[in-house]
Amino acid sequence: MTQINNNEILKPMVKAKKSKYNSYDIEKIKMETTRPSRLYENVISESSTPIIKAENFSFFYGSKAGVKDISMEIYPQMVTAIIGPSGCGKSTFLRSMNRINDLIPNIRVEGKLYVNNQDIYAKQIHLVNLRQQVGMVFQKPNPFPKSIFDNIAYGPRLQGIRKRSTLQQMVEESLQLAALWDEVKDDLKKSALALSGGQQQRLCIARALSTKPNVLLMDEPCSALDPIATSKIEDLIDTLKNDYTIVIVTHNMQQAARVSERTAFFCLGELIEYDTTSNIFSNPGKKQTEDYVTGKFG
């Protein structure tokens, strides 16, 4: 087996720029952004370059620490789960990765958090580009009170794409990726709020995919959904991981075991253990992890 070139994987992340869409050519962009699918599963592991890397990263709300001294690496094209009891900082850590936590007043960070080798808490970070390439799906489905089409087209429109046919194509692509196209293709003009909870969440995933991100952050995406909708989303995660790097925060340990390759266990704002999912669940290195995954506490 040959080691595949890391630069190849990270390429779309490096060259994505806002201006490239000005003279938009869908075929060209498609070719540019199609990622190598995950053919060499076993090769891309510890040896590959991490796409997100935390170095002694701490996040404070006022004087209270949300997460303390986290050091971990997240690898491309796999699903990394973050589990832990409520209030352990897993959402805080996830939300730091595209700086969506900036909206909260009085926050402070220490240490470094790298995305694609760039410290994203450095001064001159391009937040728009960061968030376009590190997309996010939130805990509660939060579609805009607009039509289904306008929801998905929101991201592309922000990038300056105005042409109706291009938007149409991107909307269809995103909805198909999120496995929602067949259910809504006839009423794209309907309000997104009329969809069911599970459909709304897939719509939000489609919306996050519309900006063609490299990383998809999912903050307990199934906690407001019933088991059927949950299994649909999990299937979706399974297909998406070939082309995207997914970080998922979840309360549901079975879910973490089902969908992820690597799992991090957080407790009280600290990273207790981070390993392959099978190790975490069958052979945890720490007592605390074992107690949590076996249900003795948490």
Partner 1 sequence: MESKESEYSVKPAAVFEHPLVLTFAQDVKGFLFNHIGALILFVFTCTSVLAVLLIFLFVAREAFPFLGKFSVVEFLTRNAWYPEASEGAEYGALALIVGSVYVTTIALAFSVPIGVLSAIFLSDIVSFKIRGIIKPIIEILAAIPSVAYGFFAVLVLAPWLQKHLGFATGTNALNSSLLLSIMALPTIISVAEDSISATGRDLREASYGLGATRFETMLKVVIPASHSGIIAGVVLGMMRAIGETMVVWMASGNASQIPHPWWDLSQSIRTMTASIAGEMGETVKGSDHYRSLFTIGLLLLVMTLLLNLVSEYFLSRARKSTGKS
Residues lying near partner 1 in the complex (CB under 8 A) are found at 98, 100, 103, 105, 127-132, 135-136, 138, 140, 142-146, 154-155, 158-159, 193, 204, 207-208, 210-211
* Smaller CB separation from partner 1, 40 or 121: 121
Q: Minimum distance between the CB of residue 233 and partner 1, rounded to whole angstroms?
A: 17
Q: Minimum distance between the CB of residue 234 and partner 1, rounded to whole angstroms?
A: 21
**Please, what sign has the CA dihedral across residues 272, 249, 298, 235?**
negative
Query: How many angstroms from the chain centroid is the CA of residue 287?
Result: 29
Count CB atoms within 10 A of the CB of residue 177: 19
* Smaller CB separation from partner 1, 145 or 227: 145
Query: How many angstroms from the chain centroid is the CA of residue 86?
Result: 20
What's the token pair of residue 101?
């936590």
Q: Minimum distance between the CB of residue 193 and partner 1, rounded to whole angstroms?
A: 6
Q: Minimum distance between the CB of residue 106 and partner 1, rounded to whole angstroms?
A: 9
* Smaller CB separation from partner 1, 167 or 271: 167
Q: Minimum distance between the CB of residue 142 and partner 1, rounded to whole angstroms?
A: 4
* Smaller CB separation from partner 1, 105 or 227: 105
* Smaller CB separation from partner 1, 122 or 128: 128
Q: Minimum distance between the CB of residue 52 and partner 1, rounded to whole angstroms?
A: 16
CA distances (Å), origin 108, targets 51, 77, 105, 269: 23, 30, 9, 15
* Smaller CB separation from partner 1, 130 or 246: 130
CA distances (Å), origin 185, targets 80, 153, 193, 195, 213: 32, 14, 16, 13, 23
Amino acid making up residue 29: I
Q: Minimum distance between the CB of residue 201 and partner 1, rounded to whole angstroms?
A: 12
Q: Minimum distance between the CB of residue 16 and partner 1, rounded to whole angstroms?
A: 11
* Smaller CB separation from partner 1, 44 or 177: 177
* Smaller CB separation from partner 1, 240 or 280: 240
